[in-house]
Amino acid sequence: MINNQDLAQENISIDIKLLLEAIYLKYGHDFRNYSQAHLKRRILHRLMLSNINSISEMQYKVLHEPEFMQEILTDFSINVTEMFRDPAFYLTMRKDVLPVLRTYPYIKIWHAGCSTGEEVYSMAILLEEEGLLDKTLIYATDNNETVLKVAKKAEYSTENLKNYQKNYEKGGGKGKLSDYYEEKGSVIKFDPRFRKRIVFSEHNLVTDNVFTEVHLIICRNVLIYFNRNLQNRVIKLFHDSLMKEGVLGIGSKESVDYSRYGDAFEYINKNQKIYIKKSGNDE
Ligand SMILES: C[S@@+](CC[C@H](N)C(=O)[O-])C[C@H]1O[C@@H](n2cnc3c(N)ncnc32)[C@H](O)[C@@H]1O
């Protein structure tokens, strides 16, 4: 028997679907295959902050007030990141992945969903310390142009430096993090030699396709915001973008195991969610 609570949940779910359809039809932003749980949290949060009583009222406001749509876009986009986030991931990269990449004449890396760029500069530092930066090109993409602007500037607040220095050490850093930036007042700016090896550009994992073949893809804490359909699409995109025996690194709470392409990858390190593309799987 369906009780009142189930009915209310079902209505919320329908209202959310209608809101997402309206956003897509009016503005072309496609959140229809993002995780319902994530969107519901963000929508209910916005409802609490505004003088709006229901999701259908929110839909009306979205359709008639483009400025409100901007607020919703900000609500839906979670851009939290940090330098050497989950340091053990970088330790594994150093120990198990870079020795393989070293054997290639050149290295191409794709950071998908790079946000404000902290993990991209972390990787560049790692490559520099392993003597590989000069033969590497990093493509770093996100669908949010505001965060990409920050990433391109390579400037960050000094506020989190202590934490970043700690992460760097735990990630196997060979020197001091301060060897790689200049401090000016309350900001640090990374050495321009890193910027020369990084191409930042807009790429939407929902709608865009493969843009180049790479040896390593890093896409952490992004799949978690997508539903199973979209995860399948994105994992296929990664599979198609990887060269033979290319490597994929995803977030600690994410997995390709249960996706349609789970069999096309095997673990290099299960704890760090680092996979290698199996050979013979090109369809
Ligand atoms: C939580 S951040 C993760 C940042 C970084 N990868 C990390 O792990 O620290 C998620 C990022 O995914 C991006 N993102 C969300 N949907 C996307 C999409 N459809 N295409 C590309 N990037 C997307 C967001 O803009 C955000 O910058």
Edge-to-edge strands, sheet with 187-190: 155-157, 187-190, 181-184
Dump pLDDT digits (tens) for 204-247. 999 999 978 999 999 999 999 999 999 999 999 999 999 999 99
Cβ of 147 less than 6 Å from ligand 1:
yes
Beta bridge partners of residue 248, listed in sequence order? 217, 275
What percentage of the chain exceeds 70 in pLDDT? 97
Which residue, judged by its Cα, is nearest atom 11 of ligand 1? 113
Dump pLDDT digits (tens) for 3-17. 777 767 788 899 999
Output the average pLDDT for the chain.
Answer: 94
Dump pLDDT digits (tens) for 105-121. 999 999 999 999 999 99
pLDDT value for 95: 97
Cβ of 98 less than 6 Å from ligand 1:
no
pLDDT value for 40: 95
Residue 272 confidence (pLDDT) above 80? yes
Print burial letters for 184-209: b (CB count within 10 Å at least 16), e (below 16).
Answer: eeeebebbeebbebbebeebebeeee
Residue 18 confidence (pLDDT) above 60? yes
* Nearest atom in ligand 1 to 78's CA: 1
pLDDT value for 282: 52
Cβ of 142 less than 6 Å from ligand 1:
yes
